[in-house]
Amino acid sequence: MTTTKLNYYLTSKNSNDRLTFKGSLDNKHTKNSNSTKIIVDTNKRYQEIIGFGGALTEAACYNISLLPEEKQDEIFKKYFDREHGIGYNLTRIHINSCDFSVSSYSCDDVEGDVELKHFNIDRDIKNIIPYVKKALSYNNKLHILASPWSPPAWMKTNGEMAHGGKLKEEYQKTWAEFICKFIKAYKEQGIDVWAVTVQNEPMAVQVWESCIYTAEEERDFVKNYLGPTLHENGLGDIKIYVWDHNRDLVYERAKTILSDKEAAKYVEGVAFHWYGGDHFEDLTRIKEEFPNVNLLFTEGCQEGGAKPGSWALGERYAHDIIGDLNNYTIGFIDWNIVLDMQGGPNHVGNFCDAPILVDTEAKDLFYQNAYYYLGHFSKFIEPGSVRVASNCNDDRLEIFACERNDGKRVIVILNRTEQDIDFELELDNNLFESKIPSHSIMTLISD
């Protein structure tokens, strides 16, 4: 295909450009031997991308609730509307509380309620569901992932939702039924859950809600309880993602679970977080060994509280997204879509950063560069886009390329260095040249 023009958008530290349309690059005919070379080959195709998004935790929803209605609408339009925002189509919610809840709770705190007669999502109906519905009003094709941080305290070996502990053996079936009840309860509220993870961070004993599974325990819970119970409840279409923890151990976990055919038949994919470092190559190892499995990024944030104005925040997101997508990841879900200026609320003080911060006193929003960096992917890489081959002869630049369903090609270029870098882009034998400023991200789209 002949590409005569590339439109491009820029976000740059040393300018006012924030997802700013900068014009077009025209096809050129003479190669420049001195430029950095980027080559995109759309004949080499890889995984399909399902989308991008962020989590609607109780903390995020609480912050939104403190704002006037027009500011609330602004958040959802800026995140979930593709034309006026950055086109999120994925979100993550928690089953029972997580650290980014206002306080700890479960949907059934009645000791020994094996039949779950007291199960209810009343707190979600009040604090979370109205905002999930608002997101759906801007994107009715929203994919909703539900993740548990802990079963109720009475189901656990340590008798509390926090500090790790394990699911008691006698409650494995009850816990699987609990997850089914949660999905059905949301359905009754007009909200379809798309997928679940088995357990958030199953190897982390935290001072907040946590529950420990070895790889073998998670495998057996999926094989003997969660998978069959979903099917018994008419929920066989709900996707199951395993692990939901850091990339540093993702391959070993995936291998243990997916090598068991009876467990693997229930598993849609492997979910992971970024807190253990890059380890991108381990994602490709999983895909090469288990080609039918999907890889999904389900959580990442900058720890240590909000740092308004930090340019490194957006660069961390873009580096991670490019590394994940270039290693077979199909989607990327950020952590809290908003937090307050401290990085909360968080009921154990585990404050973090977010792309948009809510100034609860001024009733206003503070947009971090991370919002724009995320938008360089989510706004232009539509669901159904397919990754294509790309490479660069200069490791100062990080590149991702894909082809959308409408045939348009999207190339994202990240420059985290202190130097402006001239580059020449070869796209299916068409040549373009430009410069990307220091500490910038650029998205190019074919006409």
Q: Which residues are catalytic?
A: 201, 299
CA R_g for the chain: 22
Report the amino acid identity of residue 431. L
- Answer for the pair 290, 283: CB distance below 8 angstroms, yes or no: no
